[in-house]
């Protein structure tokens, strides 16, 4: 299925939050609305949605810090997964990052999300031998995880938006 990929617009917010909820990307300690506001104020041109007709069917936050590129909140609506949409989104991220001179993408996937890992491996990514360290600088909600369960999530959230 061919989709249109364009920059996120403020009117997309309700649809994007529903997409994240349906695809299991929201976590109790992250406020999706605040995450959207933050990305909309930093590299908003790399906050992308996939659209089919008028429906938002995919989302992705891409970043580049001058050394490495990243992808967060990659999601495809459940009823349209395994139709090539995720691949189109990641290929668009790679195209935009290459245009910025980015030499490598690094991204986080929860170790419990084996299907997400399989998807990225299919697209040419490999698991790097590194440990991811995190430190929260701002709490969105009182339910923020402790450092212990933050590094070893027990939930089934597929992605790593809160990492």
Ligand X SMILES: CC(C)(COP(=O)(O)OP(=O)(O)OC[C@H]1O[C@@H](n2cnc3c(N)ncnc32)[C@H](O)[C@@H]1OP(=O)(O)O)[C@@H](O)C(=O)NCCC(=O)NCCS
Binding residues (CB under 6 A) for ligand X: these are: 23-25, 74-76, 81-87, 109, 113, 115-116, 118-119, 122, 158-159
Residue 82 Cβ vs ligand X, minimum distance, rounded to whole Å = 4
Residue 89 Cβ vs ligand X, minimum distance, rounded to whole Å = 7
Nearer to ligand X, 74 or 101 (CB): 74
Residue 114 Cβ vs ligand X, minimum distance, rounded to whole Å = 8
Nearer to ligand X, 38 or 83 (CB): 83
Nearer to ligand X, 87 or 141 (CB): 87
Nearer to ligand X, 57 or 102 (CB): 57
Rounded Cα distance between 87 and 161, Å, is 19
The number of C-alpha atoms within 13 Å of 23 and in the hemisphere containing its C-beta is 28
Residue 142 C-alpha from the chain's centroid: 23
Provide CB contacts within 8 A for 100, sequence distance 6+.
Answer: 64, 69
Rounded Cα distance between 16 and 36, Å, is 9
């Amino acid at each position: 299925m061919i989709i249109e990929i364009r920059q996120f617009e403020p009117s997309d917010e309700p649809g994007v939050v529903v997409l994240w909820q349906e695809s299991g990307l929201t976590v109790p300690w992250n406020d999706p609305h605040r995450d959207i506001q933050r990305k909309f104020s930093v590299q908003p041109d790399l906050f992308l949605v996939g659209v089919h007709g008028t429906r938002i069917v995919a989302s992705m936050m891409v970043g580049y810090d001058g050394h490495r590129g990243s992808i967060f909140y990659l999601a495809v609506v459940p009823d349209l997964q395994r139709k090539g949409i995720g691949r189109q989104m990641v290929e668009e991220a790679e195209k935009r990052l290459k245009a910025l001179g980015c030499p490598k993408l690094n991204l986080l996937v929860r170790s419990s999300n084996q299907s997400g890992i399989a998807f990225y491996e299919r697209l040419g990514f490999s698991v790097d031998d590194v440990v991811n360290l995190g430190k929260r600088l701002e709490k969105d909600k009182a339910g923020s995880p402790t450092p212990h369960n933050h590094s070893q999530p027990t939930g089934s959230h597929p992605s790593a938006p809160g990492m």
